[in-house]
Amino acid sequence: MSTANPMFDLSGRTAIVTGAGRGLGAEMAKGLAAAGANVVVAARTPGGISATAKAITESGGMAHAITCDATDRGDVEHLIAESVERFGSLDIMVVNHGLGPAKDLLEVTDEDLDAVIGVNLNSAYLCAQLAGKQMIEQGKGGAIVITSSSASKIACWGYSYYGASKGGVDQLVRQLAQEWAPHGIRVNAINPGYTDNEMAGTGDVHDTPEVAEFIDRFIPFGRRGRAQEMARTRGLFGQRCSQLHDRSVPLRRWRLFSGLVGILVLVTHQLCLHFSG
């Protein structure tokens, strides 16, 4: 099940997607499979990733589901080892899991802060570290993409600790990109805005009149991005996209492109054409 566009052909490569049981992770896993990759879908609960893997295989792709707590080093080591054992290598790591709660700063407890920093930043660091180690040992490069947020770029009520965790992710991406470039490993972040997504910890907070008013004011199309649109970010993983590196790509407020995907597809396509080979 390979893409018709050879520039974004991922045939023969293996991708791991964390947080792949629902929402953005599930759709990105399906998009990678559609581009020809062997996809390992991972999350803490087995039900969602089983459904994602089934959807991929029923569409003609290759998928394998592995239960994994991305905050646990042993679990992540097992995830990578089993993926390599099954498909032969690790070429793409999509670190997509996260928590997205909102709370007044004065009400944030130490436990709240530890939970959000632990999941959004510390475990992203862990997943990237272990994936990079495997890629370096393989000696053929790779791609790591971490889902950040527009909350790392702008201030929104209730997102003090969430925004701080994602700001850390953006700097982590810059640092890893510089350190691992000599090994042929590209590291990038994507920074979605409000998305029609099932994210742990959000509850009903995103369905309030205040959020609807924010969307009407600040997003030109007057709607959230859709999880399915994220699947088209596979340009970040293409072998010819060697110059798409050390980027934090904001996906919000663009008037000329529908939803989240337009600017990313344009940028990756132009860079791949210019720097291919």
CA distance 12 to 172: 28
What is the C-alpha separation between 12 and 142, in angstroms, rounded? 13
Question: What is the band of 89 on the pLDDT scale with cuts at 50, 70, 90?
Answer: very high
Lowest average pLDDT, out of 26-30, 49-53, 90-94, 215-219, goes to: 215-219
Question: Which residue, among 131, 116, 237, 130, has the nearest Cα to 169 in the 3D structure?
Answer: 116
pLDDT over 50 at 168, yes or no: yes
Q: Render pLDDT for 101-120 as a digit per residue (tens, 0 to 9).
A: 878 889 999 999 999 999 99
Q: What is the set of active-site residues?
A: 162, 166
Query: Across all residues in the chain, what is the average pLDDT?
Result: 78
DSSP state of 149: -
Residue 155 has pLDDT above 80, yes or no: no
Which residue carries 């999880």 as its tokens?
227
* Rounded CA separation 261/179 (Å): 28
Domains, the chain, ordered by start: 6-275 (3.40.50.720)
Nearest-CA neighbor of 33 among 76, 4, 6, 3? Answer: 3
Q: Is residue 80 a contact partner of residue 131, using CB atoms and an 8 Å limit?
A: yes
CB 19 within 8 A of CB 65: no
Q: Would you state the pLDDT for residue 197?
A: 57
Q: How many CA atoms lie within 13 A of 197 on its CB side?
A: 32
In this model, does residue 166 exceed pLDDT 80? yes
pLDDT band at 243 (very low <50, low <70, confident <90, very high): very low
Three-state DSSP at 57 gives: helix
Question: Which pLDDT does position 186 carry in this prediction?
Answer: 92
Q: At what angle do helices 160-180 and 123-138 cross, to 10 degrees?
A: 10
Q: How many CB atoms lie within 10 A of CB 90?
A: 26
65 strand-pairing partners: 41
| Residue 196: band (very low, low, confident or very high) from pLDDT cuts 50, 70, 90 | low
> Where would I find the beta strands (DSSP E) of 148-271?
185-192, 195-196, 225-226, 247-251
Q: How many residues does the chain have?
A: 277
Between helix 160-180 and helix 110-117 the angle, nearest 10°, is 30
| CA pair distance 69, 3, nearest whole angstrom | 31
* DSSP string across 247-265: EEEEES--SSSSTTTHHHH
